[in-house]
Amino acid sequence: MNFELFIAKRILSGERSNFSRPIVRISIISIALGLTVMILSMAITTGFKDAIAEKVVGFAAHIRITNFDFNRSFESKPISMNQPFYPSLEDSAGIRHIQVFATKSGLIKSADQIQGIVLKGIWTDFDWSFFKKNIVEGEPIVINPDKRTDDILISKQIADKLNFKVGDEVRIYFINPDEISPRGRKFVIKGIYKTGLEEFDNLFVIGDIRHIRKLNKWNDDQVSGFEVFVDDFRHMKKPYETVYNTIGYHLNAESIQDLYPQIFDWLNLQDINVIIILVLMVAVAVINMISTLLILILEKTNMIGILKSLGAKDRSIRKVFLYNAIHIIGKGLFWGNLFGVSLALLQQYFGFIHLDQQSYYVSTVPIQLEFLPILLLNIGILVLCILFLLVPSWVITKISPVKAIRWE
């Protein structure tokens, strides 16, 4: 019995007729192209979400600690920076950095134009890693703890609108609730940044926190709040709980998703596109494999009859055809992984596909390859194809040995 099944396997996996050979190739190509599209769609969507989230976090951190007054404006109530968790919170698991900040609304004026901005005051603990990657002209400002600096960092969008360049002296006007006339302050543009996020680039100017303290008549130890950065954006639940339980009841901690829900809700919608692509590609692969298996069974009807006449069981013959189908699926998965991962790596390291940054917020197609999702995708395709192929393989049980042997 094993000898007959061995011969059957050799026949199926060896030479095929001129009729079945193109069908098998089409199935392999279909699976390979489908998997390539699925890998690229997952890598691009994940990369796009990570790129946008990184830019938002660069402006507002992962977690923001402020006064517990539900004030959503930029004119927040001050708190003391002398807190028991600052800066020791950095030693907690999952937390990378903590820094102080202050914000104040203002108007930046050129010779003939005015632009509304928010001055974000920073201190010596500011993490420059994000802005250093996005500075297009000039350099970061230097915060000297002994002397206040008038240097600021503005966005390229603001600079282009108001015709500013590095080294220009600009004047920003601020209004306090208890004062009638605005108070102007002169600053010097030290650097110009560009992130591609229009909502933030049109708004934020980076400067010394001591300007805001003086304008608001705060003490030297008062700030708007603290910004906390975590190690992994996707696993910030535990760090957030650590922060929330550490700061006490008089302060409030908000995650970046709570501060900008509209942005992250929009990013989460991108997953729907990936799901649709995955479903369509898997459906195409399954349909192609069902067609291929039925054609192979039809072609080998005579062989099936001979094996049955020799005493082979239906279950054993079905296994032969399923093994052959798995072999075809495996070839398609191999080429799909090869093409998909190769294209993704080329784009990740060379960025040969460019985008309009004003429309897509990124200048090149972002890629984020992860091994586990790709592995699960391969396993899922293989399992689903096998499950759906069990139905057409049932046709073998309906083949009569006598009629099959006469089949020509």
**Which of 34, 42, 45, 43 has its CA nearest to residue 333?**
34
Q: Residues 121-129: what's their mean pLDDT?
A: 95
| Residues 219 and 86 placed together within one structural domain of the fold | yes
Residue-wise pLDDT for 157-173, tens only, equals: 999 999 999 999 999 99
**Whether residues 365 and 280 fall in one domain:** yes
Domain check: are 231 and 274 in the same one? no
DSSP letter assigned to residue 76: P
Residue type at 383? Answer: V
392 falls within a domain: yes
In this predicted model, what pLDDT tens digit does every residue of 326-344 receive, in sequence order? 888 999 999 999 999 999 9
Q: Is residue 259 part of a domain?
A: no
- Residue 256 domain-assigned? no
- For residue 62, tell me if it sits in a domain: no
148 and 20 inside one domain: no
- Predicted TM-score (pTM) of this structure: 0.84
Phi, psi angles (nearest 5°) of residue 145:
-65, -20
Same domain, residue pair 30 and 104:
no
pLDDT of residue 248: 84
pLDDT on residue 10: 52
pLDDT tens-digit readout, 294-334: 887 777 777 777 777 777 777 777 888 888 888 889 999 99
Alpha-carbon radius of gyration of the chain: 32
Provide the 3-class DSSP secondary structure of residue 179. Answer: coil
Which structural domain, as residue segments, surrounds residue 364? 2-54+264-405
Residue 359 makes CB contacts below 8 A (sequence gap 6+) with none
Number of compact structural domains in the chain: 2
d(CA 132, CA 141): 11
N-terminal to C-terminal alpha carbon distance within the chain:
24
Domain's final residue, options 217, 248, 279: 248
Residues 294, 200 share a domain: no
Question: Are 280 and 131 part of one and the same domain?
Answer: no
Residues 80, 198, single domain; the answer is yes
Domain boundary among 207, 223, 248: 248
Residues 160 and 270 in one domain: no
Between 158 and 27, whose confidence is greater? 158
Q: What are the structure tokens assigned to 367, written together?
A: 């890629």
Residue range 224-267, pLDDT digits in tens:
999 999 999 888 999 999 999 999 888 999 999 999 999 999 99
- Beta bridge partners, 64, equal 227, 254
Q: Is the pLDDT of residue 63 over 80?
A: yes
